[in-house]
Amino acid sequence: QKEVEQDPGPLSVPEGAIVSLNCTYSNSAFQYFMWYRQYSRKGPELLMYTYSSGNKEDGRFTAQVDKSSKYISLFIRDSQPSDSATYLCAMTRTGFQKLVFGTGTRLLVSP
């Protein structure tokens, strides 16, 4: 079993839709959670960074962490075609620097 599970998609939505992306994990020691966006043949771009449980909002993006369920989510409101990319979740433990990534979910937003 992988430490971090993520549905590879693709997830296809129309422009303006609310998108929900999710990851589950097995290691209860993970405390820091991140979402990265990666365009084709580019490097990952950090979107959201959260510590422990709770919500964090930044513009159209909201990250949620539910440690009791070992489940994290990224919501994108008013999705745009420019949001079409692969979204990677990543996490790590306190005192550790090594990030453990999900395999990524490919999102396609059609105009």
Partner 1 sequence: NAGVMQNPRHLVRRRGQEARLRCSPMKGHSHVYWYRQLPEEGLKFMVYLQKENIIDESGMPKERFSAEFPKEGPSILRIQQVVRGDSAAYFCASSPGSRERNEQFFGPGTRLTVL
Interface pattern 47-76 for partner 1 (x via CB under 8 A): --x---------------------------
Q: Which stretch binds partner 1 (CB under 8 A): 10-18, 45-53, 54-62, 69-77?
A: 45-53
Task: List CB contacts of 84: < 8 A, sequence separation 6 or more.
Answer: 107, 108, 109
- Among 107, 63, 65, smallest CA distance to 87 is for 107
Backbone phi, psi, residue 43, to 5°? -80, 155
* Binding positions for partner 1, rule: CB under 8 A: 4, 6, 8, 32, 34, 36, 41-46, 49, 88, 90, 92, 95-104
